[in-house]
Chain A
Amino acid sequence: MVFNGTPIELLKKLKIMREEVVVKVNGKLVPETTRLKKTDKVEVIKVVFGG
Chain B
Amino acid sequence: MKKIRVLIAKLGLNGHDRGAKVVARALRDAGMEVIYTGLHQTPEQVMETAIQEDVDVIGISLLSGAHMTLFPMVQKLLKEHRIDNIMIIGGGIIPEEDSFKLKQAGIAEIFGPGTNTKDIVNFILSKVKK
**A and B associate:** no
Residue ranges of B at the interface with A (Cβ–Cβ < 8 Å): none
